[in-house]
Structure 1
């Protein structure tokens, strides 16, 4: 009975997430257990890819193998690992079961099995039941039989990702996929499953194969560096350096030398030739973070580099050729800076060949819970807690808060709340539950989405409030509403009229005409 639906799923063209979610749902039904989780091994931690019976934020957690002895024991064996009901080993899912939210797992049955693909450990499949005796000899034998089907499901999903990568890859590019993390990638992971994020990641993967300059637009704290790293990692330049330059931290007097280098004697203190960041990124990618902070004099030299592929060290007589792709990022409206004379128009057009608006956290629905789960697990390990979780009201508070500081603010909120809970005398051996009061969020700052949490977002920024009920002619009310919609869309997309037109679902030329009639242009 179990194998029939699983075999049918293997033969059906399903999205990866759907196939794996159906797998754990089938297993939970078959074994009559409380929770099933499929976790993928990445470096030294296990990442949940599909869960059934656990709270939603569990998908955002990353379980360090060294900190979870039950998971380590499952990984260490090739056959089914079963834990006796009086085992003293801590359970990684304490407080995370849907049916026992915030409560420790009582005496229960737990078993798991390691999954392998191409002879290498891929991850683990875990099952938890609240009733002892659920996983007897027959159940353990059945799980051993299921391993082949589970491994087939993850292998098919991996092959589908490889095929998709080959379809979108440039000629001669090797397949660079997310299933084989490099050292340090775990700390720079983009967490989330919302429709706006999935659309953004697909767009980035498509443009990654080109050498076009990309301008990442987004509010402070949305993680622009993470998306720049993904662009580089998915590009043909992935084997070469990615050099990060924080333009806001460059002293004006040293900005030119930092970017383009200098020769000996170019200025007081230049005792030797020194290459700049462009030369350090040779063959790779230069990420100019907060590019709107560059001095005008340096902007002129940057423009020449983008036009000619050449740099000239400060004090040198001859230019040098460089082969570097530039990714820039800003939280400012560069169009307004161009109008005000603080940013060169020609450089703006060079950098914004492909502008990419990054949605703020408030427009990413339930991603806020997954990201919070990641920070909860990090703080649990950092503080030596048995378990750290959110109460139901706390989850709702996170969903409704507008997050002006985005992901960076969320990280600080979770870390501060965990420390507050610990300072109030909770035991590290208890399940620590964070309530709304500990989060210390502004109760009056409430964001009410215009669509269900994971529905596709219609914009990359905050939604405008509806104008007050009109008291004058209908035409004036319509004009006011259109004016508000257009100016809001422009603000959300960094002044880019084409992006604003797409967000408003109107023809770009018609948008320009309407804007002129309304006095916006």
Structure 2
């Protein structure tokens, strides 16, 4: 065997030390990169017919936000089905899921590629992928050696997933997983505010308390409600959605509580309301602050006594419904202004949750961008959607007043523009694809252009970042020419670009 005992021992130690620490898998693949001499590596978790990245090395950061559905990625599907080490021919015609996602490598047409499926018993739980730019990079490593590494990693990954299950109802604490087959969205994020929100969701989901979810428009309050329901004892029963802002006053009571035939003009049959439909499940009342005071009083009665009365009916019906409410208003201020009932506010806010705005979770922007890129790729039938280094810096420098929803729409619009200008099915998003109505001003306005105060270091970094991006664009992404245009040594430019987040 070409691996030394010391090298294998180092892998084992990396796997077993700080077993619950989120950086453990990152340390592992860095160790593997050194041991195997690969240029890029990734540890992936398998769930719902897709691979979800847990840790990466040598790949663009947005890979952590991408979700690789097996049906869309033949190489990963081959790894999932193989049951053993997979060595892809250097000139394999199967598209590589990381094509365009290894910084400095525009194409992976000829390269070494290994896949190590990871099992717990007979169940596939993940995979290790290893890529090398030299076509013969892994020839010296035997299948027996690689199987040993796969066995070590499989055991560690399985232990980590078991610990996560014991700590919460989630398989992985940094995600609320969706089903790739249904296109369900996920809560993407590794930043401290999101991890804290995840913990609070896990705590309240296990109870049956009503929850008030606050946050700015576009932050993902509905995803929080879905996560609470999915992790609760009511998960097998309905999650019913109602947007209170879209309810005309004339039909609002009927929508909530139902009506009987003949209750009013047009009531030609009995109809169940949202509370009745959600019996034994969860009712999510979005934009709760828009409800009229009269409806607030009737909603309060349901929360207090657990019974409803259909419009036009003298009888009461018992319901068992958990209410999750969301608002972008400050309901305390609404109570003081007399627009929201204080007693209803206190009933709803037994366990309040606040969804952080995107500007408070900067490190999640690129992960979310990668997630939306992969969604667009699948929906539009593209081979790949890649973020250029300049685009990643561009996205990271914006404050996103519209939060995650604005980022999603910006990515979708940019993909449409980039596809229109592309000859094939491979799309690379560049800063100019984020223009407003053809204007040269970007939709992603740099932080230094905003009115709020920044310190001198932030302002200097922002100015340098913008100057480098503009010069790089004008020099067709040629770094040497860009260095000359900026009167910099090319090595110094590369170092500066890395520090500013323009290069990986």
Which TM-score applies when normalising by structure 1? 0.80
Aligned to 1:273: 270
- d(CA) in 2 for partners of 1:13 and 1:124? 21
- Counterpart-to-counterpart distance in 2, 1:149 and 1:185: 33
RMSD of aligned alpha carbons? 2.3
Shift of 1:446: 3.8
Supply the distance in 2 between the matched residues of 1:360 and 1:45 (Cα, whole angstroms).
28
Deviation of 1:400 (Å): 1.5
| Cα deviation, residue 186, structure 1 | 5.4
Alignment partner of 1:401 is 2:395 = no
Three-state SS of the structure 2 residue aligned to 1:314 is coil
What is the TM-score when the length of structure 2 is the normalising length?
0.82
Deviations 1:145-168 (A, max 9, x none): 211101111111011112212xxx
SS of residue paired to 1:128: strand
The answer (yes or no) to whether the contact 2:373–2:386 under 8 Å persists in 1 is yes
Map 1:352-501; keep pairs closer than 5 Å.
352-424=349-421, 426-430=422-426, 432-440=427-435, 442=442, 445-447=445-447
Distance in 2 (CA, whole Å) between partners of 1:318 and 1:207 is: 33
Following the alignment from structure 1 to structure 2, what is the Cα–Cα distance between the partners of residues 444 and 137?
A: 47
Q: Is the 8 A contact 1:35 1:53 kept in 2?
A: yes
List alignment gaps of at least 5 residues for structure 2. 1-5, 436-440, 455-504
Q: Confirm whether residue 211 of structure 1 aligns to residue 197 of structure 2.
A: no
CA deviations 1:242-292 (Å, max 9, x no partner) are: 111111122211111111111222112223322211111111111100111
Question: Which of 133, 140, 155 does residue 130 from structure 1 map onto?
Answer: 133
Classify 1:108/1:183 alpha carbon distance in 2 versus 1 (closer, same or farther; 3 Å). closer
Q: CA deviation at 1:141?
A: 3.2
Secondary structure of the residue aligned to 2:382 is coil
Runs of 4+ in structure 1 over 6 Å off: none
Q: 1:9 aligns with which of 8, 14, 31?
A: 14
Structure 1 residues 184 and 344, CA gap change in structure 2 (3 angstroms): farther
Report the equivalent of 1:201.
198
CA shift for structure 1 position 361: 0.8
Distance 1:89 1:11, change over 3 A: closer
> What are the residue-to-residue correspondences of 1:7-156 with 2, within 5 Å?
7-100=12-105, 103-136=106-139, 138-156=141-159
CA distance in 2, matches of 1:463, 1:319: 56
3-state DSSP of counterpart to 1:215: strand
Quickly say closer, same or farther: Cα 1:384–1:376, change in 2 above 3 A.
Answer: same
State the 1:76 CA deviation: 1.5
Matched residue SS, 1:256: helix
Tell whether the 8 Å contact from 2:178 to 2:185 is kept in structure 1 after alignment: no
Alignment partners' CA distance in 1, 2:452 and 2:212: 24
- Partner of 1:503 in structure 2? none
1:342 Cα deviation after fit: 2.5
**Alpha-carbon distance change, 180 to 56 in structure 1, aligned in 2, over 3 angstroms:** closer
Task: Show the counterpart of 1:515.
Answer: none
| Residue-by-residue CA offset, 1:472-498 (whole Å, 9 max, x unaligned) | xxxxxxxxxxxxxxxxxxxxxxxxxxx
Instruction: Provide Cα deviations, 1:115-139, integer angstroms capped at 9, x if missing partner.
Output: 1123211122111000111111534
In structure 2, what is the Cα distance between the partners aligned to 1:225 and 1:215? 12
Shift in Å at residue 371 of structure 1? 0.5
Q: Is the 8 A contact 2:74 2:95 kept in 1?
A: yes
